[in-house]
Amino acid sequence: MPRYALRVEYDGRPFAGWQRQADQPSVQGAIEAALARLEPRDHTIAAAGRTDAGVHALAQVAHCDMNKDWDPFRLSEALNYHLKPAPVAITAAALADNDWHARFSAVERRYLFRILIRRAPATLAAGQVWRIGHDLDAGAMHEAAQHLVGLHDFTTFRASICQAKSPVKTMDAVDVTRAQGLFGPEIHIRCRARSFLHNQVRSFVGTLERVGAGAWAPEDVAKALAACDRAACGPVSPPHGLYLAGVGYPDDPFGG
């Protein structure tokens, strides 16, 4: 059976998350249903990361096994036709080696979180940003974020329901920048690592927001990390505003 890599973009608002669920809409379920329209049978696809309800993706990566030899472009076009009207798009498809795996072959995952700074409610960007009505000091947030880079026990920033075997992870980068967005000033928080704990990025973001607002000093983030105690974490940010921005592979089937 030929294996195909799929690069997937989606709006997470209508979904209960990536993972297929029996009684709620999911991104995985939508793609598997579209695959069944092309080859009528049960399909099971795997993804680089299981995003939570309300979380978006700019470049999620998944793989599927097909009976037929599909031209990758025609496969992506056919899937996009059958995915309508769900807010899911296959932005690229590529033939992959049979032992290539969207999750286990990945060596890097990149997340972006967008905070919109303005007093007025978000309307056109609703559900796609975390709108905050007060200004944030991006410089202080970036300074604080550097305490999170490297190999650490991230128990403080780990959800209680996290199923990872260990809270120890290596964060390759956490960067905070200010940008002028279409609807107002934005704070962008970018995180890069091989893998993440459940709610780790949202825990980072909520904590860094407290630094940007002046409620925490940058050094307080180092103290919270060292505490290895979930109670030391700042408020967890909402899911809207979080995007799976990319996945890295040593042998990228898309040629990137």
Long-range pairs, 218-221, Cβ under 8 A, ≥24: 218/140, 218/143, 218/144, 218/147, 219/144, 219/147, 220/144, 221/144, 221/145, 221/147, 221/148
154 SS3 class:
coil
Alpha-carbon span 93 to 4, nearest angstrom: 7
Task: Supply φ then ψ for residue 56, to 5 degrees.
Answer: -100, 175
CA distance 87 to 8: 11
Cα gap 56→58, rounded to integer Å: 7
The two structure tokens encoding residue 185: 């000033």
Annotated active-site residue in 42, 52, 97, 229? 52
Cβ(187)–Cβ(136) below 8 Å: yes
97 is catalytic: no
Q: Is 144 helix (H, G, I), strand (E, B) or coil?
A: helix
Would you name the residues annotated as active-site residues?
Answer: 52
